[in-house]
Each structure stands twice: as structure tokens, then as C-alpha cells.
Structure 1
């Protein structure tokens, strides 16, 4: 962002501040805090914590924890929902042979029940076979993973000024054992998260299990939805356990043709763990995912509501519109942050 200092500016400002403190006859109150925070990102904007899910950077060539942190810093963001890949790779997870970047569009197409060509069906079948073998290998690794390395990830991010509020590994699915679920919850706590997020499984027994296990760990499970979201979509899970919560997707909710999302947010704000924000069109306009400010999603109104009502759940940027030629996900996420900053200022 424009107000992100360069290394030279950072060093110069630090030197000036230290020099001023040294020659002043009056104590420089707060100078340790000023020095500690100088140059660090801050996306807590008038009380609204703007964050990002690291899935937004899926087009970037390096998906390591270190590179992902740099993308977040480059965007001026201070809080994140961390996907499993960057964290688990740092801890030592086995690598998958599947190029997820290339298959994400096909997987989404299948998930949204769009028509697939025969070649696409064949490609997905091959990916499913590879992923099944990899999942078995990953599950085995998770049960003996060096958990202290998750603390190293937290320290690395926190020292750079980034708080991990959510963790989203694929360890909470219907196929996951209790031991694997416990692993995911423990990892989340070590990362400093207060919630784990997962696609809603559509299975009441499983949401009861997840909510109960998370609550015992002092965490919440935020269930994410796509166009199957409705005002009552989460009711059963919420009634089952205080450990169950909502990972609301504002854009998908609008595209699905639901009633005014502001009404839903006002009614459920205390059970919303986090909210994904994007700008989608309504069904009447084609349901497109567009650059912010061009779609039908009431981003301005929702962010303003969060500010005025002092809601504390994070507004998580999820970049899903097509990245323009010559740009990158980092550049586009920066635009989204600026949209939020202008709206909330």
C-alpha cells in the first residue's frame, strides 16, 4: 500500500525516533511500543478487523508459510485465516503430486454442479485417485507431526505483526478420525487461532461431534457455505453446541438470492465467527464474481454496520474474481483492503 514504508524509510524513521528519545529532556512515553510496531501492518480499521484467507493467494508460485506471510505483509494486512497448506508444509507434511492450482477451477466447477466435458471428468477422476492416496499419507503424518513447529509459525507471523485468527486444514471432514480432528484443533490453538473453519458437511452427527470437540478445546468451528446458504442454514449446528458457529460468506449468500444479508448479520452476529467478503452479482445479473464495487453485494453497508455496531468478528477478504492481465492476487487484495479502508474511514 502507499503508506507501507520501504526498508530505507523504516530504518530512517527508527533512527530519528531513537535519536529524539535520546536527546529529549522529557521521557518519550510509549516509545518502546512505537519502535515495536513501526513498519508493521494494521488492518484493524475503525474497530473492524479486515483480514484475508490465504486461499486468496493460490495463484502465487510459492505457497510456503514464509512466502504467504510476505504476501499478507505486502497487502498491509494484520490478521488472517490460514489455510492448511502453508502451515503444514512448514511443519513437514509430505508433498502432494497434484498441482492444486491447475485443478481448483475444475473442482469448483464440479462442486457447483456445472456440466463437465469427458476430458474434465477423466482429469478429475485421476486427481481423485491421487488425492485419495495422498490423503492416506497425510493422515498418517498428522498423527505423529512435530506439533511444536506450529508454535514457530505463530511466532514468525506474530513477530511480523500478523495474527492468525482462523485455521482451515482439511482435517475436519466426514472421513476424518477423532484423532485427526484433535490434531487439527491442537494445531489451531498452537497457531493462536480462536476458530477453525470447514465447509459445512451437511451431516448433523458430524457437526455435533465437531462442535463438542472444539468447545472442549476453547475453540469454535465456523461452518462455511456457498450458494446453499439460507437464513436457517446453520440453525441445527448452532443449537447443538456453543462450539459451533458461522463462517458466513456474504457474496455467495447474495448470489443465492437470499433476503437482505444485513438482517441476517444483525440477528446472528454473536454466532458469526468470521465472514468472507467478496462482490458477487445476484442471480438476475448472472451471479458473477466481480472486482469490488461492481457487483450487487452490499459491501459498503455491511462494513459500515460492523463499524457502527462494533461487531468483533473479522471481515475476511476472499479474492475470487478473475485477476486482470498484468496484475496479481497480491495487487488485487491490496485494492480490496483499500476499498475497506475508504469505506470505514
Structure 2
């Protein structure tokens, strides 16, 4: 009975949002009318000139990962602009289902990194990786024939609800081993979704950033390189010299955890190349590098937001929820707290 009820709610939500996306007769106020959405006006997370957004990866712990449910999470947080992980849009467009248990995969990878994986577990991991590679090939074939109108419909659904897509980060698209067709697809789809840039982990390889920069120029869209603890003030310099379409997706929390001092200085020195910046509160190496509830770590989040406001930097600050969700809470409630933190910091 519980599953039937959950399925019914999901179907109702999906149908409601699909109608809103496809009909020119639906007004914004009518779109918000169903009680399940709880919205009677469009969201606004631009505070004193600073656009605060969220990466949809932040909602990864929520049970329903559909396009419609993800939109509801965003609206429940009052957020008006996002960095979109590829999954909600691609599944909306009919991507083949991935039947692999990602939780098992991540658990085995964690054991491998720690050196505690057994022989049987190592064999299981190798089998999962082979299955994942086969699935990636299947997705690559699907991408060659998928109708771009589905991504247009996705964009309309989000835009009409008051949510803009400023960045797109599809999985397994912009890596060293990806084909030209993969890269073309990712950038073409980003433009259809209305994004100004795509994001990808910095490859640490000059040949790859040169290649991606050339593709970005071809498509007229920026590629912003994300960094973890390999971030230094000079990490992006070669890529920036290679192409004006190479840019930064700075992660301020990881930058602090990497042991870099004066984190606000990289914002000042690279601001013209930053297309978006991830926000999280991490500790310095001396304090353990923890990923903490905002306001309890060492990352100068308030100072960064106020710098963006005072200097009128145009790039958005992207909430990325990575600290452990407290018992009794969920990702939506925690992102709401992060939004409130940003609004308070920007009102001072």
C-alpha cells in the first residue's frame, strides 16, 4: 500500500509538471497551484546582486531522482538557478536505465582506496566496473540518436517554474578517454538547456584541457574546470592560456582543505575567469579537513559572498551539500539552511 501511494504521488507530480512544461496556457501562478508543490510565485535566490544556486548533486540522497522531483526540491529551497548534473535531464529524455547498485560500487571503491578490500570483493568490483563500461557504451549509442526536443522540454519545464540552468555537468562526457562525439553531445546539450558553461573535474593533463578548450570554442560555450584538493592558485593557468573558453569552477571549500592560504585572494585574482563557484564549509588540514555544517568550518563563505556582492562579480555561488545530513533531516532541509546562510551574509 505504501509503495502504491508513493507511486501515485510521483505520477501526479510528473503529470502536473509535464502539463506545465508543454502548455502555453499554463501561467506561473497556475503552475504553483497544486498543494503538492506549495509554490504560488517563482523562486528568487538572487540576494543583493549575488546569484545563489545549487548543484543538483546536493539532492542525491533523496529517494526520487526524476526531473520532476528534482525540480520540486529546488523550488522547496527557493532557488532560482542551478548547476544541473546530467541524470535528471537524461532520464527525462529516455536514457537507458542503469541497473547497477551504485551504493555497492561506492562501498567497494572506498575499501579499495583504504587497502581493506578482500580478493572476493576485488573480483566483484572488477565485474561491476566491466558492467559499468558496457553501460557507458550503451549510453553513448543512445546519445547519438536522442531527440533534443526532450531537453528543450526539460528546459521549458524548469524555466517556467522560475529556475534557470547556468551550468551542465553530464556524467562520463568530458574525460580524457571520451570520444569527440561525447564531447560534442555534452556541449550541444548544455546550450539547448540554456547553460553558459559545462563543468568537469580538472584532468591534470594539458593535452586534455587544450582539446576541451578547442571544442568549447567550436560550440561557443565555456568549459569550467572543477577542483578538489589538487587546487592551487596556479592550477588553471595553463588551461586559461590555451583558450579563452577555458574557465574555472572554483571550489572554495576544497581550496581551503588543500591547505591554501588567503582563499579570498584567488577569487580576486581569477574572478574574470570564474564561471561559477562551489560553496561548502571545510576545515584546513591543521583542523582535519572536515566537511561541516556551514558556519562551523574554516572556509570564509560569508566573506566570499560579500566580496562577490561588493565587487559586483557576475558568477553564481553554487551550494554543494556534502556534509553529513543530520538524523531526522534531509537534503532539502539542509540546502534550505545553506540558502538562509547566504541570504543572511549578503544582508550585512
Taking a change above 3 Å as real, the CA distance of residues 207 and 227 of structure 1, as seen in their structure-2 partners, is same
What's 1:329 paired with?
331
Output the CA distance in 2 between the equivalents of 1:121 and 1:73.
42
Classify 1:140/1:322 alpha carbon distance in 2 versus 1 (closer, same or farther; 3 Å): same
SS at the partner of 1:301?
Answer: helix
Classify the secondary structure of the residue corresponding to 1:176. coil
1:97 pairs with one of 82, 96, 99: 99
**Structure 1: distance between partners of 2:334 and 2:174:** 30
The 3-state SS of whatever aligns with 2:145 is coil
Check if 1:133 corresponds to 2:128: no
1:162 aligns to 2:163 (yes or no): yes
Q: Structure 1 residues 331 and 178 mapped into 2: Cα distance closer, same or farther (>3 Å)?
A: same
Aligned to 1:16: none
* SS across alignment from 1:153: helix
Give the match for residue 150 of structure 2. 149
Partner of 2:190: 188
Q: Please, which runs of 5 or more residues in structure 1 have no aligned partner?
A: 1-31
- Which moved further from structure 2: 35-44 or 67-76? 35-44
Distance 2:288 2:121 in 1: 24
Cα–Cα, structure 1 residues 106 and 256, in superposed 2: closer, same or farther, change >3 Å?
farther
Identify if the C-alpha distance between structure 1 residues 124 and 335 changes in structure 2 by more than 3 Å, giving closer, same or farther: farther
Corresponding position of 1:117: 117
Shift of 1:58: 0.5
Q: Is 2:211 aligned against 1:209?
A: yes
Mapped to 1, the partners of 2:218 and 2:59 lie a distance apart of 32
How far did residue 211 of structure 1 move?
Answer: 1.0
Distance 1:329 1:36 in 2: 24
Gaps of 5+ in 2: 1-26, 33-39
Distance 1:318 1:78 in 2: 15
Cα shift at 1:218? 1.8
Measure how far apart 1:151 and its partner are.
0.6
For normalisation by structure 2, the TM-score amounts to 0.85
Superposition CA RMSD, Å: 2.1
Q: TM-score, normalised by structure 1?
A: 0.86
Per-residue CA deviations over 1:244-273 (Å, capped at 9, x if unaligned) read 000101000000101211111100000011
Partner deviation per Cα, 1:283-329 (whole Å, 9 max, x = no partner): 11111100000101111111110110011111000000000011100
Give the deviation of 1:206 after TM superposition: 1.4
Distance 1:103 1:264, change over 3 A: same
Counterpart secondary structure, 1:52: strand
Contact 2:83-2:166 at 8 Å conserved across structures? yes
Between Structure 1 and Structure 2, how many residues are aligned?
Answer: 312
The answer to whether the Cα contact below 8 Å between 1:277 and 1:317 also exists between their aligned partners in 2 is yes
Change (3 A) 1:70 1:33: closer
Q: 2: distance between equivalents of 1:101 and 1:155?
A: 32
Q: CA deviation at 1:125?
A: 2.7
The question of whether the paired residues in 1 share the 8 Å contact of 2:111 and 2:117 is answered with no
1:339 pairs, out of 338, 341, 345, with 341
Query: What do the CA deviations read for 1:112-151 (whole angstroms, capped 9, x no partner)?
Result: x544432664553333122111101011111111111111
* Secondary structure class of the residue paired with 1:143: helix
| 1:312 aligned residue | 314
Q: Is the 8 A contact 1:58 1:101 kept in 2?
A: no
